[in-house]
Every structure is written in structure tokens, then in C-alpha cells.
Structure 1
């Protein structure tokens, strides 16, 4: 009585789905390490916040202490010029502002900006 229609994807549909899966896999492989490194920066800042007598140290000493922790955690994208230490009214604020740029493919890049800060009160 009637023709049976074949169900399923065509070759073109399969290639399109595989292309999309490949694109998102590439995106994940490029962006995931950036965020993993950012979590190391956050943990370094939190451990710095728990440092006893942080408020008694100079801005230079605090910056060096944070840089040592970042070095131990193998953070590559934060440099000394990205770190700002502000002391006012018994509060020590440490800010880390940086951007990470990674090439995806060809002339297409991804840029991720981070702005992290902690505050510690002096005793």
C-alpha cells in the first residue's frame, strides 16, 4: 500500500552533529585549564586571607607572599602588576585583576577576564 520511509540521520546530518561535538570539545579543552588555574588563584587568595598578622605586613610583603603561593600552585597568568594591595582603616584588601587569552583556531581567540579580591581586618 505505501512506501516505507527510512528513519535515521543522513551522512550530512551525522557530519554536522560530529562537527558540533568536536567544536564544543575543543572549546572545553581550551577554556577548562583557564578556569582550573583561576581556582588555584582563588585558593591562594583564601589561604592568604587566613594568614595570621596579614594586616601587620607591608603591601610589598603581602604581594611577595601571594606571588610565592601562586608560584607553588604553578599559576602562570598572574604577574606582579596584576596584584594590588590596599591598606586603609585597619582593612587590608588584596585585588588580582588579570585576563587570559588563548587561541582557539585560526585567528579566533578566547579572552577570559578575572577580578578577584579579598579583605582582611587587622586586629
Structure 2
């Protein structure tokens, strides 16, 4: 008579699996909000395309200052308050066209003294009165 061998997961195997699942869950909970915030940054820049052209003049430097102010206001509307932009460049590409580059680093704690650092950079073209 043949004996049937036992199959299944041991207690140690179950604990190791639970630890891996918990660590993966913590990692996902730390990463997803950062990428959602990056999407909000990109959509804030895209929202500048719908600005009223009557508030802009012919001076590109003054228009760039207006765009910067409106962009910072848009960041506030989208809940992007905790980002310190290392580089927020607004470069004129024509009379009503601008290239906006936003570059920033976001550091989020993972556990104890381990942190995750994310570097983001996006460049988008903005046309006033489009």
C-alpha cells in the first residue's frame, strides 16, 4: 500500500509569502501617489493652453511671468503644494508659443531610514489662445 505524500505550504513558507506581499503592498502605496501627482503636474501645464489670450501682451518676458504665476496657481488647484521645483523654465518659442519644462525630485520614506527618490522631468508646448 502506497502512502500519499503531504502537499501544501508550511508555516514558514506562508510567513515568507505574507512578508513579501506586505512589502509589495507598502511599495505600491508609496509609489502610486507620486505618479498620480506627476500626472497632475502634466495636466496643470496642459491647462495653460486654455488661458484667455486677452490677458497677455506682446512682451514675451511679461507673458512668461504671467504663465509662471498661472501655473503656480494651477498647481495649487490640483493640490500640488509640497513640490519644490528645482527647474521651472518657460522659454518663448514664438509670439504666442512657449515651452514649459518642469523638473523636480520627490523623496518618500519607505520604512526606517530607507527612502524612495523619484526624479521627474516633463516638457510641454503651450500655445496661448489655442
Q: TM range, normalised to the smaller chain? A: 0.7 to 0.9
- TM-aligned CA deviation for residue 105 of structure 1: 0.8
2:42 maps to which residue?
A: 42
User: Match of 1:71?
Assistant: 76
Q: Could you tell me whether the CA contact under 8 Å between 1:55 and 1:92 is conserved in 2?
A: no
Instruction: Quickly say closer, same or farther: Cα 1:3–1:28, change in 2 above 3 A.
Output: same
CA contact (8 A) 1:82 1:96 kept: yes
In 1, Cα distance between the equivalents of 2:100 and 2:82? Answer: 17
Partner of 2:30: 30
8 Å contact kept, 1:92–1:119: yes
- CA RMSD between the two structures: 2.1
Mapped pair 1:113 → 2:119: yes
**Cα deviations across residues 2-50 of structure 1 (Å, max 9, x unaligned)?**
2221111001110111011100100011111111111111111111123
> TM-score, normalization: structure 1?
0.87
Distance 1:7 1:61, change over 3 A: same
Aligned-pair CA distance for 1:98: 0.6
Q: Report the Cα distance in structure 1 between the residues aligned to 2:52 and 2:13, rounded to whole angstroms.
A: 60
Instruction: Point out where structure 2 has 5 or more consecutive residues left out of the alignment.
Output: none
Structure 2 residue matching 1:8: 3-state secondary structure:
coil
CA contact under 8 A between 2:88 and 2:103: conserved in structure 1?
yes
Equivalent pairs counted in the alignment come to 123
- Aligned partner of 1:92 in structure 2 is 98
Structure 2 length normalisation: TM-score?
Answer: 0.83
Could you list the structure 1 runs, at least 4 aligned residues long, displaced by more than 4 angstroms after superposition: 54-57
